[in-house]
Amino acid sequence: MPIYEYQCQSCGHEHEALQKLGADPILICPACTKPELMKKISAAGFRLKGTGWYETDFKGGTNKKNVAGEATPKASAPKAESSANSKTN
């Protein structure tokens, strides 16, 4: 559940509330009890950094599957074609 920030338009009191996404906003200020509490727009409390998440992350066992549903290919030696093409260029 997200944490929403509120500020009273009457007394200036700031309030945080843990609410469900579909919950109605709080209107009554807990400090002055007037119905002038307004929801503030604020940034999220976390940041996603790095290269991202992949389907194979955190999978255990020997039978890992890739996105296509095929078994993960085993490491193989480089193909001779690619090395021959690079020498001619």
What is the model's pLDDT at position 41? 86
* Residue 23 backbone dihedrals phi, psi, to 5 degrees: -70, 145
**Percent of the chain at pLDDT exceeding 90:** 39
Digit-coded pLDDT (tens) for 39-54: 998 776 666 666 766 6
What is the model's pLDDT at position 62? 60
Dig out the tokens for 74 from the structure.
């085993």
Confidence check: pLDDT of 28 > 90 = yes
Confidence check: pLDDT of 87 > 80 = no
The count of other CB atoms within 10 Å of the CB of residue 31 is: 13
The helix (run of H) or strand (run of E) holding residue 13 is none
For the chain, give every domain's residue range.
3-39
What is the model's pLDDT at position 2? 85
Dig out the tokens for 19 from the structure.
């609410």
